[in-house]
Amino acid sequence: MHRLLDQWDENDDEYDPNDLDDNDPRKPQRQSVPFDPKLMASDPIGMMKLAKKGKPLMLFATVAGKPTQKETETISALWQQSLHNAQFQLTRYVIAENRVLIHIEDGSKAYDIKDFLVKQKTCAKVEFENQEFIGAGASAERTEL
């Protein structure tokens, strides 16, 4: 049946193989990234970016201080707008008074987003892939105690 459909599509001027449904067996499958131990030893972040390319990823950001839910909403909206201006597509969800879940469609961008967030004085820490990165806002919290 698929061969018959392929013959039909060959004569169609508007046929585009990229428009196939994800479940269609005729759609070319993405090739997985080959594991290279030399690359992993020399550049673990580069290897992680390569492995997460095109895959969704979630990261958690903690807002510095003791913000209310509304303050967290405002601060995370500023982060999202700044990242959007830098051409990063993400979705954010406030999950607690000081925690934000950030969903990224392309996981290879996670380290770039993390680099932006940890420089913000309103960010205490960023977490993803079982790694924790301390933000600039964490030092301000420690001096207040």
pLDDT tens column, 47-98: 788 778 889 999 999 999 999 999 999 999 999 999 999 999 999 999 999 9
**H or E element in which residue 61 lies:** strand 57-63
CA 46 to chain centre: 15
Tell me, what's the pLDDT at 65?
92
26 domain residue, yes or no: no
- Contact yes or no for 116/61 (Cβ under 8 A): no
31 domain residue, yes or no: no
Q: What is the mean pLDDT of residues 123-127?
A: 96
- Rounded mean pLDDT of the chain? 83
Q: What is the mean pLDDT of residues 125-134?
A: 94
Q: Which domain holds residue 94?
A: 55-144
Beta bridge partners, 90, equal 104
In the numeric block, the tokens 């990224």 are attached to 104
43 domain residue, yes or no: no
Domains in the chain, number: 1
Tell me, what's the pLDDT at 38?
67
CATH number, position 89: 3.30.70.260
98 domain residue, yes or no: yes
- Encoded tokens for 133: 């990165």
* DSSP sequence for 77-119: HHHHHHHHHTT--EEEEE-SSSEEEEEESSGGGHHHHHHHHHT
Residues in the chain, total: 145
State the pTM of this model.
0.69
